[in-house]
Amino acid sequence: MEYLCTECGKTYPSSEVIWQCTCGGLLDIIHEFRFDPDMVKGREPSMWRYREALPVKKDTVVVSFHEGYTPLIPVDFGSRRVLIKQDHLFPTGSYKDRGASVLVSKAFERGIKHVVEDSSGNAGSAIAAYCAHASIQCDIYVPQATSPSKLKQIRSYGADLHTIKGDRAATARAVLSAAENTFYASHSYNPLFFHGTKTFAYEVCEQMGWNAPDTVILPIGNGTLFLGAFIGFKELKDQGIIPALPVMVGVQSASCAPVYRNYIASHMGKLLKTGVDYRIDDAESCLPTIAEGIAISNPVRKKQILNAVTVTGGSVITVDDSEIEHSLKKMYSSGYYIEPTAGAVTAGVEKYCMTAKENERIVSVFTGHGLKHG
């Protein structure tokens, strides 16, 4: 495995402890491997069953709670039946464990003793838990308004918690100065995180008998699950395991929808043949929303997210807080206990289903547990 800068093309060996290129560009990972569904037969039901696809060399450095392979269950949205990945059942209560397991394994392999990370709460909880498991010290930066139960969870794992005045963007600025001297275990910058979240795609395809769904509906905050799933589906297609990529539909909060706005601008540009493709806006401020996990005003990988939407023939939709609350109530009344950000996704699924094709095989996710809220 090596790191590749998406801006200048420079490569770095896997032994480097980096999260961005010296030119400031985002890093991706080049990882050559051979994967075959037969390889996983008889392996334990965890995300590490796709071992060959994960960019961590030795089993001895893997930091894991035997997580993943979450149930894919049918849930009815009106008259439509959608398959939902129960990723709220991860050890820390969200799918962020997928990324944390791979990223912290790499930190452990490199002998890192201390990391910093910023988060709206869930990525911070995941990094804190995996660091605790590997005896790595960590400092987690979160916005002051983060749900108290997430703050408690992060502190309980023994992390040093820094609550930052202002919005999520202010927290991201605060961690960057801390990252000058300490390894930045960033879920948005570090590409290893995305090579953990890609296991979502592997699990979905395996659970569907090594078939891809027609459509996948996922949240877009920093796009860690969205882009991870895209990487996973692409790898499975490149390995000849699935014939085509699923259509990828992203859900944003109407109060904070930078990717949606770019998607619409580029779509309109194409429709009007103005040649406008991606108009990447500067950071814009967000209004408050109950979907705290996806309130990201300027996702660093926005261009990659828009590319995944375009390449898969997908789209981006928005939901407002009243739609989220309505959807949450429906989920609760069926016995599913998910947090409000996860309710944004189910509200998006509900909206999408109104115009979905008959027999369309749709997959989505419960991203975070309801016990995290409050």
Ligand X SMILES: Cc1ncc(COP(=O)(O)O)c(C=O)c1O
| Radius of gyration of the chain, Cα coordinates, nearest whole angstrom | 19
Residues 25-84 that bind Zn ion (CB under 5 A): 25
Cβ neighbours of residue 180 closer than 8 Å, sequence gap 6 or more: none
112: contact with Zn ion by CB under 5 A: no
5: contact with Zn ion by CB under 5 A: yes
Query: From ligand X, Zn ion, none, which one binds at residue 68 (CB under 5 to 8 Å depending on kind)?
Result: none
Q: Which amino acid is at 58?
A: K
Contact positions vs ligand X (CB under 6 A) = 94, 120, 122-123, 219-226, 293-294, 339, 341-342, 367-368
Applying CB under 5 A, the site for Zn ion has a residue count of: 7
309: contact with Zn ion by CB under 5 A: no
Task: Compute the C-alpha angle 242/246/251, nearest 5°.
Answer: 150
Least gap, CB of 53 to ligand X (angstroms): 19
Of residues 77 and 200, the one with the C-beta less far from ligand X: 200
End-to-end Cα distance, the chain? 41
Query: From Zn ion, ligand X, none, which one binds at residue 7 (CB under 5 to 8 Å depending on kind)?
Result: Zn ion
Query: From ligand X, Zn ion, none, which one binds at residue 48 (CB under 5 to 8 Å depending on kind)?
Result: none
Distance separating alpha carbons of residues 197 and 218, to the nearest angstrom = 12
Distance separating alpha carbons of residues 79 and 88, to the nearest angstrom = 24
Query: From Zn ion, ligand X, none, which one binds at residue 346 (CB under 5 to 8 Å depending on kind)?
Result: none
Of residues 28 and 206, the one with the C-beta less far from Zn ion: 28
Distance separating alpha carbons of residues 213 and 221, to the nearest angstrom = 22
Distance separating alpha carbons of residues 19 and 30, to the nearest angstrom = 14
Tokens describing residue 104: 């912290």
Among 16, 17, 23, 274, binds Zn ion (CB under 5 A): 23
Query: From ligand X, Zn ion, none, which one binds at residue 219 (CB under 5 to 8 Å depending on kind)?
Result: ligand X
Cβ neighbours of residue 173 closer than 8 Å, sequence gap 6 or more: none
11: contact with Zn ion by CB under 5 A: no
Interface positions with Zn ion (CB under 5 A): 5, 7-8, 10, 21, 23, 25
